[in-house]
Amino acid sequence: MEPKVLFTASTYSHIANFHRPYLQAFSCLGWTVDVACGGAPRDIPEARRILHLPFEKSITAPSNFRAERLLREEMRRERYTLVSAHTSLAAFFTRLAARGLDTTVVNTCHGYLFDPDAPSLKGRLLLEAERLTAHRTDLLLTMNRRDQEIARRYRLGRQILPIPGMGVDFSPLDSLPSSAGTLLRGELEIPEEAFVLLYPAEFSARKNQAMLLRALALLPPDVYLLLPGNGALLDRCRALAAELGVQDRVRFPGQVSDMGCWYQAADCAVSSSRSEGLPFNIMEAMHCSLPVAASAIKGHEDLVTPGETGFLFPSDDEETCAAQIDRLRSSPELAARLGGQARDASQPYSLEAVLPQVMAAYGAVVPALANAGLSLSGK
């Protein structure tokens, strides 16, 4: 029987942004590839078929249980060799749907949204959801040291293996003309002598752009901040920038699909996030030779080595954040040295390096893939 794999996620965009190379890899190995996800539909040409799921963010929403029933029917009918689950919400209902079925389930943790050492009611609920479905997790893949520790402490999978993220395709960043950043700075009316910070992210409480705006207010007037992205808190952040008197030094361009020229336009990558898995924006910025100033959280701590590729600051501490940024602003030599070292440090996270490792990890629970990672690594 031809092997089949089903990829699940809460949104089409997650599959499209992070997993298309893996869909293609399975297809090249002769597998039938299907996808099940929710959110706004997008084209995913590598998939034979896409099952639309009515996911909602609240884990207890009735529509999520309808999604679970649809998934279970799909798995029964197709008899998948492997189900690869992504994003916390979809992974929970995927594993519920797989109970009692003869299929191998791999859950990839893109960053737990709870901290057992600082529990909240929501955090306890999310942890219990992971514990409830641990027995149906044949393999759990984690992306940072902290999530690995949590997974092992609570035995959240039958097997637990680390991976260096999903891999980033750096090639589009390398194909831009060297003038792209200069042209963008001109379009954005940023002075030539300005020191430009960049943080592309959804506007949400977790991404915490408000803290960066407060830090910007503490920095000299030649420091500018670029905040590409959309989200629920965008208007609130615009209002905060005006309240702090920094609106002339902030750019809110909305959603940006091609980030390459934005990295070129920046002098430093920043992140104020409160929780991450292994963030693409930091890896891309490092590949573009940008030093990093980021909050000292999981994911960031795995990527940024203080004093070598950038600096870390305590989460929600705008004064220390501003001080670390000012160190880089006031010393171009330091910023250039850390940026060069950041580029070198980003290479193990390239798609070319990571994809064979992930495929080999699948091989730990799917005998048909046991040597696939090794063969792909030779390409």
pLDDT digits (tens, 9 = 90+) for 286-308: 999 999 999 999 999 999 999 99
Query: What is the rounded CA–CA span in Å between residue 334 and residue 377?
Result: 36
Instruction: Work out the percent of the chain whose per-residue pLDDT is above 70.
Output: 98
pLDDT digits (tens, 9 = 90+) for 141-150: 999 999 999 9
Q: How does residue 375 score in pLDDT terms, banded at 50, 70 and 90? A: very low
Termini Cα distance of the chain: 27
Q: Provide the CATH number for the domain formed by 4-167+350-377 in this structure.
A: 3.40.50.2000
Query: What is the rounded CA–CA span in Å between residue 374 and residue 379?
Result: 9
- What's the pTM value of the predicted model, to 2 decimals? 0.92
> Average pLDDT for residues 27-45, to the nearest whole number?
96
At position 119, the amino acid (one-letter code) is P
Domain boundaries, the chain: 4-167+350-377, 171-349
Query: What is the rounded CA–CA span in Å between residue 104 and residue 193?
Result: 56
Query: What is the rounded CA–CA span in Å between residue 198 and residue 181?
Result: 12
pLDDT (0 to 100) of residue 371: 67
- Token pair 């891309």 in the structure block, residue: 284
Instruction: Kindly list the distances between the CA atom of residue 275 and the CA atoms of 73, 111, 152, 222, 346, in Å, as whole numbers in the listed order.
Output: 34, 7, 19, 29, 20
- Token pair 């040409």 in the structure block, residue: 45
With a cut of 80, say whether residue 1 has pLDDT above it.
Answer: no
Are the C-beta atoms of 215 and 321 separated by less than 8 Å?
yes
Q: Alpha helices of 110-162 — where are they, by DSSP H?
A: 121-132, 145-154
The candidate with the shortest Cα–Cα distance to 297, out of 88, 163, 146, is 146
- Token pair 């909305």 in the structure block, residue: 254
With a cut of 70, say whether residue 235 has pLDDT above it.
Answer: yes
Q: Which fold has domain 171-349?
A: Rossmann fold (3.40.50)
Q: Which residues contact 212 (CB under 8 A, 6 or more apart)?
A: 197, 199, 225, 227, 270, 272, 318, 321
